[in-house]
Amino acid sequence: MKDCATVLSAICGKDAKDSTSLSVPTPDFMGALTGECKGMKIGLPKEYFSDAVDPAVRDAVLSAAKSYEAMGAEVAECTLPMLDYALEAYYLISSAEASSNLARYDGVRYGFRAEGCKDLEDLFLKTRSEGFGKEVKRRIMLGTFVLSSGYYDAYYKKAQQTRTLICQDFARVFESFDCILTPTSPCTAWKFGEKSADPVQMYLADICTVSVNIAGLPALSMPCGTDAAGLPVGVQLIGGRLRDDVILRAAYALEQNGKGGR
C-alpha cells in the first residue's frame, strides 16, 4: 500500500497538459496509512454475494470483513439495486467509446501502419485488420452498432441513463458508509486460454469491478486468501468519489492485520 500511496502522491493533481485532470486538493495518501480502521463504516452490498459467486471467494471476502470488525470497524449489509445492469451498461458504453476513439488509428497520422497498400482505402483496411486484435475488433463492431442510426436511443442512450442510476445508488450508500467491501471476481483464475473461445464468460468475470469504472469511483483490489486449489482470492475496496485516501487506509489496515498480501 505504501507503493500505491507514493505513486498517487506523484500523479494526483492538476496537469496543465491534461484537460481531464482535476484541480482539487491532493489528500495526504501516506498519512492515511495508519494501520488502523477503528470507527470506519464498511458496507457489504448483497448483490456482490449472490449464488453466482464461488463459495470459496465468498468465504474469503467475508473473512476479511470479520477481520475489519475485529479491528473496530463497523460492517453492515447494504444494497445497490441497479448493479444488476452494470455489466451490460459498461460494455455498451466502453464499446461505443472504443468505436469512436480508435477511429483515429488509420495508419496515416501515427501508430501502426501496414505495408504494401495500393491506395488509401487499402491502407485503412490493412492497418486496422493487422493492427487490432480480435477483442478490439469485437468491441469496435459492437460500439459502431450501438451508435448507429436507429439503435443509438435503444442501446447507448439507455446505457448512459442506467449509468446515472448506478451513480445515484453508490452516492446513496456512501451517505452511510466510508467504503464498500466486495469480491474482485466471482471466481478464482481459470487456466490459460480456457475461456478464449467464449468472450461472454470472460466478460462475466468483470461483473464485480466494472461498476466503479462507469460510476467514476476509486477502487483497490488485493489478495485476501486462497481457494482449495491454492489460487488467490481477491477482495475489492470501493471508496466515494475522490476518496482514494479512505480505501488506502482500509486496505493498509487489512494488510497489516495479515489478511491482505501483495
User: Would the pLDDT of 66 be above 90?
Assistant: yes
Residue 202 lies in a domain: yes
Mean pLDDT of 34-63: 92
CA 63 to chain centre: 22
Residue 140 lies in a domain: no
- Supply the range of the domain harboring residue 13: 2-83+152-256
191-228 per-residue burial string, b: 16 or more CB within 10 A, e: under 16: eeeeeeeeeeeeeeebbbbbbbebbebbbbbbbbbebe
Query: What's the pLDDT tens digit per position in 111-156?
Result: 899 999 999 999 999 999 999 998 899 999 999 999 998 889 999 9
CATH number of the domain at 78, please: 3.90.1300.10
C-beta atoms surrounding 178 within 10 Å: 21
pTM, two decimal places: 0.86
Residue 112 lies in a domain: no
Tell me what pLDDT residue 260 has: 56
Strands 74-78 and 219-226, by their bridges, are unpaired
Structural contact between residues 188 and 166, judged by C-beta atoms closer than 8 angstroms: no
DSSP state of 225: E
Tell me what pLDDT residue 45 has: 95
Tell me what pLDDT residue 199 has: 74
- If one counts the domains in the chain, the total is 1
Tell me what pLDDT residue 192 has: 82
Q: Per-residue confidence at 189, pLDDT binned at 50, 70, 90?
A: confident
Residue 131 lies in a domain: no
How far apart, in Å, do the first and last CA atoms of the chain sit? 8
Mean pLDDT of 210-217: 93
Question: In Å, how far are 102, 124, 172, 207 from 111, measured between CA atoms?
Answer: 11, 12, 43, 32
Q: Hey, which bits of 46-184 come out as E strands?
A: 74-78, 179-183
